[in-house]
Chains A and B, each alone.
Chain A
Amino acid sequence: MSLTETFALAFLFGGSAFFLAGTIGLLRFPDVYCRLHALAKADNTGLCLICAGLAILASDWQVAAILAMIWLIGLLASTVSAHLIARHAYLSGQKPVEARKEP
């Protein structure tokens, strides 16, 4: 395996790990704000890493530019939708859960 392929694989695995962490957060976190926090941050980082890995594998400027655009548009959409969901939840009266008291 060449050096670029090793790099690309590392990026892809890193991205998958972020996606996994984001999904676990989505399933395990207590309220809508924490879940959005997990999704919006972890998944966008995962998407960035996977796009970077694929761009390295493609080694073609056009493909790399398209992948970068995919990442940016995904970032835009997830930012605004996370904001709108959190805003709707806040306006409809959902209180964030209190931090757990340490015994």
Chain B
Amino acid sequence: MGLMLDIVIVASLIGLSFQSLYARSLFRCILHFVVFGLAMSLVWARLNTPDLAMAEAAIGAGVTGALTMVAFRRLMAISPAQNQSRPSNRSRLALPIALGAGGLVALLGLAVLEAEPVAGLAGMAVMEALPSTGLQNPVTAVLLSFRGYDTLLEISVLLAALLASQAVTQLDDPDPSILTEQPDTPLVGALLAMIVPLSVLVSVHLLKAGSLGTGGAFQAGAVMAGCGVILALSGRLTSSAQPSLLINLGLSIGILSFIGIGLVPLLYGQPLLALPDVWAVYLLESTMMISIALILLLLFTGSISIRRSDG
């Protein structure tokens, strides 16, 4: 029964990935790619990794979907003909190379499965040292207590992606294409009144749940960013070309507090990034959530800053 479900998921995964590369129009590709992200989150659920399932659904499918959609609108505003662009670069080498690479991946994976299953040494060490961190979710413990470097670099990569995107986007003409008509129907206001508090609640819950079970700063930040995207789409937030101190502080508070708390242990002769206690984990996760949400939102609006729209 379980294997049947796996086969259905894998078949739809392969079909969706095929369609998101070779569909007739670019718009169909985008839609299939978003659904591919959702199917990936089903894969993670089947592989018994709920943290990944939630991250993939929120970040992989949600945020990537919003980003590709808004980029698609910008592309269409320049030349609508490219929606129909067909894959035409049929190289004779493509198929053999792809088959060879796929075969290599299959060989590698099957060889690992064939070998005697040995639990990873790092994973065992994590499980043994887990009680000393005060956390119960081993994934959060790896991300913040044991491999803090990775997470520090991760948030730096996210911030660098935002800065690089802003550098290549022409900032002198603010992009009006996110919002074409003001959706001024009463239903939107009612939706916002319910969805916005609810999503803030959900992201704070995810943040707190990250220490016990499934959740964490990245999932929480993505939910918060989704709330911001809804606000931007309904015209409550508009992009602004004036840099704002508050926004810039919010963008950098995650990495700044990470570095700050990471440096403190050096004073006591302990290694860099040795987090003192579980409160440090909570503090870091909260500041990172704010930064992640703002970075993802600004990547969506493609502007330097955002502000409340007038009226």
Contacts and interface: CB of A to CB of B under 8 A. Distances in A.
B181 A91 contact: yes
Best-surrounded residue of A73, A76, A80, A84 (most CB of chain B within 10 A): A80
B198 A84 contact: no
A95 interface: no
Contacts of B198: 73
Best-surrounded residue of B181, B191, B195 (most CB of chain A within 10 A): B191
B181 A80 contact: no
A88 B181 contact: yes
Contacts of B195: 76-77
A56 B11 CA distance: 30
Contacts of A79: 187
Interface size class of B (residues with CB under 8 A): 10 to 19
Given A73-B198, A76-B194, A76-B195, A83 B181 contact: no
B100 interface: no
The interface residues of chain A, by DSSP majority, are classed as helix
A77 B187 CA distance: 10
A87 interface: yes
A79 B191 CA distance: 9
Contact of B188 (A73, A80, A88): A80
B188 A84 contact: yes
Interface string A54-83: 000000000000000000010011011001
A79 B187 CA distance: 9
The interface residues of chain B, by DSSP majority, are classed as helix
A16 to B, nearest CB: 13
Contact of B187 (A73, A83, A88): A83
B223 to A, nearest CB: 13
A97 to B, nearest CB: 22
A93 B200 CA distance: 37
Nearest to A82: B187
Contacts of B181: 88, 91
Contacts of A88: 181
B28 to A, nearest CB: 14
Contacts of A91: 181
Contacts of A77: 191, 195
A84 B183 contact: yes
Nearest to B202: A73
Interface string A8-22: 000000000000000
